[in-house]
Amino acid sequence: MTMKIQTVALAAALFLSACSQSNDSQAQDAVFAENRVVPGDALAMKSSFAPVVRTAAPAVVNISARGVQQVRDPFWGIPGQRQTGSVGSGVIVRPDGVVVTNNHVIANMQQIRVTLNDRREFNARVVLADERSDIAVLQLEGVNERLPTLNIDDREEQQIGDLVLAIGNPFGVGQTVTNGIISALNRTETGISDSGSFIQTDAAINPGNSGGALVDMDGDLIGINTAIFSRSGSSSGVGFAVPAAMVKRVVDSAVGGATAVVRPWLGVKGESVSADMARSLGLERPQGLVVTEVWPNGPGVRAGLREGDVITAVDGAEVNDQGGLNFRVGTRAPNDTVEVTVLRDGRRETVSARVQPLPGDAGTENATMVRSGVLSGAQVLALNPALADSLGGDPFASGVIVGRVQRGSYAHRVGLQGGDIILTVNGRAVTDVQQLMDVGRGSELTINRRGQRISGVIR
């Protein structure tokens, strides 16, 4: 069971010096990557994580949120209010008090209080909350000095087996540090998100760690702890963190003044390469995503992608399923160029594609109320890629989605529900709301309800 952890002009000489230092740093990183070693003796085993903690811990904060929920007495039916609360963690990523946490820590909360490692307290407001990535960005109020921060390391140089620390506020007991290793990378089929690609760690993560930092041995932020697999609600050694690349994408959007994260797309849809597919394609192992659909005049088509291509990587990062492709593209800004590696006719090729926002309008303000026929009383809206994606669905989906259904209406009596997607009427594909006007009794309706295809005759 997946659980969100409830219960994000120098002088020439100076310039040349900085370039030299940068090159030296990159060279050192490369040497380190090739020379990772396990502790070789008892003395090495006694080495301490304290230097890393001293660097990282001051930037990790505790978050306490309060809200009011509207409720109705189950016996008398009298409306009322109930106080709700949430405790979690966060990370300061800018010295002016920009804090990253999980969206589920602050969702539907009206008061947010942030406590720093040195026990100072600040009120906070939400700058941007992105439900899809479960990352929210807060701004501390009344900050008059530079606060300690963690550097967001989005270079994705981590390897399975690397040591990491999880810093947060488990069970609300106060700041706590646990250590472990990266046990897996690019986890996509977790049930947490359709566009997530998570870092998996065995460092103990428990309720209250939500929004806390996953740091590497350089003291850099490589992820925001967000979920665990657990049957008991406590750590079972399988925790997941949103990678720094997505965290940075949300932070950049917030700091840039956006109120929502605009996710671009490649305009292709596919399925994972199976063992049988791999054999037929002459691959050494199942790898990549077979393109099954391309959106007309979309970024993929313009880049030359076509059905039957096998996408194996985006910007050098391996892709093996639709979730992985969505994540890789989703970490880029609209109109960025990505390098897509494909297998075509037995040859590997690399094409450049400019990713763009999904076409269509994601808003629901233009929904239409059906006022005649047996579907009257249903509020409907034709699907487009932007709308379908914003609702967590397939951008390639077609049909008309049902919003609110008036109680006692014809649509309510025939069993239509909010969220239903009307696919066909009398065998004809539905692509426009006008096709639902004046639908009469005896008509055959086919809908998609939470992934299940249902057909029936309206009596």
Q: Render 293-320 in DSSP notation, one character per residue.
A: EE-TTSHHHHHT--TT-EEEEETTEE--
Which of these is catalytic: 104, 130, 216, 272? 104
Q: What is the distance between the alpha carbons of residues 149 and 153, in angstroms, rounded to a whole number?
A: 12
CA 79 vs CA 45, 67, 76, 110: distances in Å: 60, 17, 9, 20
Q: Longest C-alpha distance within the chain, in Å?
A: 83
Helix (H, G, I), strand (E, B) or coil at 257: coil
DSSP strand E in 131-187: where? 135-140, 163-168, 176-187
Q: Is 118 one of the annotated active-site residues of the chain?
A: no
Q: What is the distance between the alpha carbons of residues 448 and 435, in angstroms, rounded to a whole number?
A: 17
Best CA proximity match to 439, nearest among 383, 376, 354, 388: 376
Give the single-character DSSP code of 265: E
Scan for tokens 């305009």, then name that residue.
267
End-to-end, the C-alpha distance of the chain in Å comes to 41
User: Which run of H or of E encompasses 327?
Assistant: helix 322-330
Which of these is catalytic: 86, 130, 133, 134? 134
Name the phi and psi angles at 317, rounded to 5. -90, 130
Q: With left for phi above 0 and alpha for psi between -120 and 50, is residue 273 left, alpha or beta?
A: beta
Which of these is catalytic: 193, 195, 210, 272? 210
Q: Is 420 one of the annotated active-site residues of the chain?
A: no
Q: Is 280 one of the annotated active-site residues of the chain?
A: no
In terms of Cβ atoms closer than 10 Å to its own Cβ (0-12, 13-18, 19+), residue 403 is middle
C-alpha torsion angle, residues 25, 27, 33, 37 (rounded to 10): -90
Structure tokens at 186: 């690019």
DSSP strand E in 95-162: where? 98-102, 111-115, 121-130, 135-140
Give every CB contact of residue 340 below 8 A, 6+ residues apart in sequence: 266, 303, 305, 311, 313, 314, 350, 351, 352, 353
Which residues are marked as active site? 104, 134, 210
